[in-house]
Amino acid sequence: MKKSDSHYQTYLRVLREELVPAMGCTEPVAIAYACAKARDVLGCLPTKIVLYVSGNIIKNVKSVVVPNTGGMKGIPAAAAIGFAVGDAKKKLQVISQVTDRDRSQMQQLLSDCPITIHPSESEEIFEILVEAYTKETCVRVRIIRFHTNIVLVEKNGQILEEATPETESSSEEVDLLTVKDILDFADTADLNDVKEILDRQIRYNTAIKEEGLTGKWGAAIGATLLENYGQDVSVRARAAAAAGSDARMGGCELPVIINSGSGNQGMTASLPVIEYAKELNATSEQLYRALLVSNLLTIHLKTGIGRLSAYCGAVSAGCAAGAAIAYLHGGGYKEVSHTLVNSLAIVSGIVCDGAKPSCAAKISSAVDAGLLGWKMYLSGKQFYAGDGIIRKGVEETIKTVSRVGRNGMRDTDKEILRIMTE
């Protein structure tokens, strides 16, 4: 793929937009971001807060620790820290700089200011609407579609900011993603164009992985894997991604590089590939190109499903990581395609029941499926069109999986939410 090709520039744009830093689970951080923006417009702390949030926001905030809150979980904690000390200019790192004094201010706000939460009244899968009140002022801030997409800022009924709803990467751009073109881009990309993005991903995600393995976070899935299954690279690959999630779901204050709006997906797409690159003594160039494959395949697989659904996002990232590991071993289109189809046949259907410690275990399962899909191909084994939802060709199979995740699991999503809020 030539640099002058429009596809080349599109792929660079997608990478720059998707692989960005965030501290903490992105849904509570998005709430904090909206609240910090409301505080900026209000000019002081509110006396009353009302939030309208979509079901998937409720699901992904309920059980995860919000960083820098002293171990607190849930929407009120995310809102309070955002209002009390959030820096809206930092977007998904909005609560990265918090002192003990700041936490005291947050606790005081929680004590003094009533916070009411309502289900969203719109059909948006991803929506956060914050209403902040003082005696004389009402400020409204609305985010939809993705975590930093503020489409409305309003003060006392006067619109200060308004934007047309859009997706993070335009539909026209992500529709250009295909397995064949992703591999072409990975093979030919000028690494100077992507080095900074990928170096940051390696650095950030490796750091939180190490914290997850050494610290006491979540259910310690990463450490458990190593303690019980040994030090084989396939185990280390699973443990690396799981450990990053252990720390992140446990409220670790280290940032990660996300993918498709998710830190778990960003870590799953990168850390297993990094682990295999170490095992192979791969060059920096080989690692960079494999990470391009993994990241772009994750985005491709996730695009048709949507950012939030009842379909676990780790599946897409784990299968993509397996395909990238096949690529790292010299595989091309045939090897990558068969790995993807095999792994999707194995693990599609893991449900998302919100952000929480068990995400790390699901990540381990997804990476394991990606590796098994690759090993199957190496052994001359595969799943065929007509085996369940598998279709002929990798792109057709990706489309069927997307249909299951986006359309088929809508009622599942609603039932999961009902169970979680009973």
Beta-strand pair 48-53/115-119: parallel
Domain ranges of the chain: 24-162, 169-421
State residue 175's pLDDT score: 65
Please name the residues in contact with 100: beta carbons below 8 A apart, sequence gap of 6 or more: none
Query: Is domain 24-162 given the CATH code 3.30.1330.90 in the classification?
Result: yes
Longest dimension (CA), the chain: 71
Q: pLDDT for 394-404, tens place per residue?
A: 999 999 999 99
Alpha-carbon torsion, ordered 327, 331, 337, 342, to 10 deg: -90
Write out residues in the chain with pLDDT < 70, as ranges.
165-175
State residue 98's pLDDT score: 87
CATH T-level assignment (fold) for domain 169-421: 2-methylcitrate dehydratase PrpD (1.10.4100)
State residue 334's pLDDT score: 97
Q: pLDDT for 320-361, tens place per residue?
A: 999 999 999 999 999 999 999 999 999 998 999 988 999 999
